[in-house]
Amino acid sequence: MRVIPESHLDLLTRPLFAHLATIGPDGTPNVNPVWTIWDGEYLRFTTTTDRRKCRNVQQNPNVAVSINDPEKPYRYLEIRGVVERVEPDPSGTFFDVLAKRYGLAYEPPLGDAERRVVIVVKPTRTTQQ
Amino acid sequence: MRVIPESHLDLLTRPLFAHLATIGPDGTPNVNPVWTIWDGEYLRFTTTTDRRKCRNVQQNPNVAVSINDPEKPYRYLEIRGVVERVEPDPSGTFFDVLAKRYGLAYEPPLGDAERRVVIVVKPTRTTQQ
């Protein structure tokens, strides 16, 4: 079964910012713009272990993601899903993939590489317009 | 006290899409792009009583909003807050204000005016970059 509708797949293949919602320890939502990449099965995000979103998903794996089309802002995709795992990225290799995808020039090695992780999300359902 | 930092106020005065995160009855987050307007004290959103985000905030008033700058996408504002009230908008007057702000042409009267409401959010804290 395809979770992501073909009609909105371009919102994941283009390097658009995604707004990732997580739930804090007090049960209230957090949301901010992040880089993402989709491999057909998982959405992946880069962060560091000291960031709020990483602490949040380790306590509560339920997340939601909103991406809209900058050219047609009423066209959007919401993905709800579950964090399956948080993987270490101590070499910054995954950060590098995303930095290239989003056109960020930076001077390697990454200063925070030892705290870098990959948040791996399995989509469960979507809504779109 | 100013909740919204002066440095990021333009992200609220410009007609940018906001990504509104709410929490569903099962405790998982939802997030999607919405119109908003800021009056210096409250953020307001238009929706209808049958939409998920309206049902969500009536059960759980904690919300979060993410807006980033389309010209400098790393520049963003996250607002966390609480829904103080949901007000009826049976004439669609508030919808009309937002439709003008976001440049949407439509043929009044609104078909769903009898279900239109205004979600009124009091910001409690922000994070930004």
Residues B32, A127: C-beta atoms closer than 8 Å: yes
Q: Alpha-carbon distance B73 to A59, whole Å? A: 28
Whole-complex ipTM: 0.95
Examine residue B1 and state whether it is found in any structural domain, yes or no: no
Residues A64, B27: C-beta atoms closer than 8 Å: no
Query: Which range, of A57-61, B5-9, B70-74, averages the lowest pLDDT?
Result: B70-74
Instruction: Name the residue range of residue A73's domain.
Output: 6-128
Report CA dihedral (A50, A94, A70, A106) to the nearest 10 degrees.
Answer: 80
Please provide the DSSP assignment of A33-86 as one string. Answer: EE--EE-SS-EEEEEETTSHHHHHHHH--EEEEEEEETTEEEEEEEEEEEEEEE
Examine residue A41 and state whether it is found in any structural domain, yes or no: yes
Number of domains in chain B: 1
Is A22 within 8 Å of chain B by CB?
A: yes
Is A59 within 8 Å of chain B by CB?
A: no
Tens digits of residue pLDDT in A80-89: 999 999 999 9
Is B122 within 8 Å of chain A by CB?
A: no
Examine residue A1 and state whether it is found in any structural domain, yes or no: no
Which B residues 69-98 touch A at CB under 8 Å? 70, 73-74, 76, 78, 80
Is B55 within 8 Å of chain A by CB?
A: no
Examine residue B42 and state whether it is found in any structural domain, yes or no: yes
Q: How high is the mean pLDDT of chain B? A: 95
Examine residue A16 and state whether it is found in any structural domain, yes or no: yes
- Residue B9, pLDDT > 70, answer yes
Residue A115: CATH number of its domain: 2.30.110.10
- Residue A1, pLDDT > 80, answer no
Q: How confident is the model at residue A29 (pLDDT cuts 50, 70, 90)?
A: very high
Tens digits of residue pLDDT in B13-26: 999 999 999 999 99
Residues B31, A62: C-beta atoms closer than 8 Å: no
